[in-house]
Amino acid sequence: MIKVAINGYGTIGKRVADAVAAQPDMEIVGVSKTRPNADAFIAKSRGYPLYIADISKKSAFDKVGISVAGSVDEMLAKADIVIDATPGDVGAKNKPLYEKMGVKAIYQGGEEHEVAGFSFNSDCNYRDAFGRQFARVVSCNTTGLCRIIHAMDKAYGVEKVRAVMVRRGSDPGEIKKGPIDAVVLNPVTIPSHHGPDVQTVLPHIPIVTMAMIVPTTMMHMHAISMDLKKVATREDILTIIEKHPRMGLVRKSTGITSTAELKEYVMDLGRSRSDLWENGIFEDSVAMVGKELYLFQAIHQEADVVVENIDAIRAMIGSVKDPEVSVRMTNEALGFTAI
């Protein structure tokens, strides 16, 4: 069993912890918190040993009846690999600790590529992660872009990508972020950082991205256009998406035309935390104009990177050599069903 520690038990960390616990070849050795908030009670109810970054804060946890197993250093000593799901830029500060402890670490998209020196996506570069000490699972938006671009590049070759990201203002549990009533250009400048971020995984793809933030918490929405190198039919594109293990078609027949209806649908399907792990590509939006492909895809920001972290663990440990096998194991353990 691969022993996994989760440093930073928040939106992403708590999902990755449950996904690890569901895998047949992995176990949780501990999760870490900085303060005894609601997530700490969830960790307790799941039975995950709880470690804390600053051991001098132990009494605050004792006071509310949450037992502390020890310090983060002690947690890392028990682990083969740590998922660093601390807020952006905190991961970089943790790197000397991981180096000192000689533990493998997976960072998240809030960190710079340079922190790990290698950016990961299961579809695109699984085998390049073999044996590495550090990797970064790219952000939710970049993960969604990499999946669709790589699938089209494999099938037809991609000449150029243009993508507009309409991003959620905050996660549903976050009460201090906005906007409440605005469309915020984020950034105003073009290209946004998403294009260069895609190129940390797919360096040969010419891509220009634009991004804005809107008052919603559900999901991001991408409007994508791609110039393909070969002619393709709309039906061929739909078949590729349909067969892909991390992309799902939002069927015209469901009548779903929004992130809100899609979130409700995924919740009703009984998905854990109503998480959509795959790209939600709107069937009716897929269009070919000559060699140009157009589509809309919904990206559930809290979910799509979770499954990538699981595959990154197997790749870095080297326990599963074939990416397709790892993706299948991950999906089966989480109970993927077609959307």
Among 80-88, 175-183, 230-238, 269-277, which window interacts with ligand NAD (CB under 6 A)? 80-88
Give the residue from 172, 207, 171, 165 showing the smallest Cα distance to 186. 165
Residue 30 or 110 with smaller CB distance to ligand NAD = 110
- 61 in contact with ligand NAD (CB under 6 A): no
What gap in Å lies between CA 173 and CA 155, rounded to an integer? Answer: 39
Among 7-15, 97-105, 181-189, 309-317, which window interacts with ligand NAD (CB under 6 A)? 7-15
| CB 291 to ligand NAD: min, Å | 32
- 112 in contact with ligand NAD (CB under 6 A): no
Q: Please count the residues of the chain.
A: 339
> What three-state secondary structure class fits 6?
strand
Is 124 among the catalytic positions? no
Give the residue from 162, 299, 155 showing the smallest Cα distance to 235. 155
Q: Which of 140, 207, 228, 241 is catalytic?
A: 140
Give the residue from 296, 313, 304, 307 showing the smallest Cα distance to 333. 307
CB 333 within 8 A of CB 22: yes
Judged by phi (left if over 0) then psi (alpha if -120 to 50, else beta), residue 225 lies in beta
Per CB under 6 A, which of residues 229..288 are in contact with ligand NAD? none
| CB 306 to ligand NAD: min, Å | 9
Structure tokens given for 76 = 């890392």
Structure tokens given for 137 = 């699972």
Q: Which of 32, 274, 330, 331 binds ligand NAD (CB under 6 A)?
A: 32
CB 122 within 8 A of CB 310: no
| CB 258 to ligand NAD: min, Å | 19
Q: Which of 23, 108, 125, 259 binds ligand NAD (CB under 6 A)?
A: 108
Q: Which of 5, 12, 152, 266 binds ligand NAD (CB under 6 A)?
A: 12
> What are residue 285's phi and psi, to 5 degrees?
-85, -20
Q: CA of 296: how far to CAs of 52, 165, 329, in Å?
A: 42, 10, 28
- 10 in contact with ligand NAD (CB under 6 A): yes
- 39 in contact with ligand NAD (CB under 6 A): yes
| CB 292 to ligand NAD: min, Å | 29
Residue 195 or 293 with smaller CB distance to ligand NAD = 195
Q: Which residues bind ligand NAD (CB under 6 A)?
A: 7-13, 32-34, 39, 53, 85-88, 90, 108-111, 139-140, 171, 301-302, 305
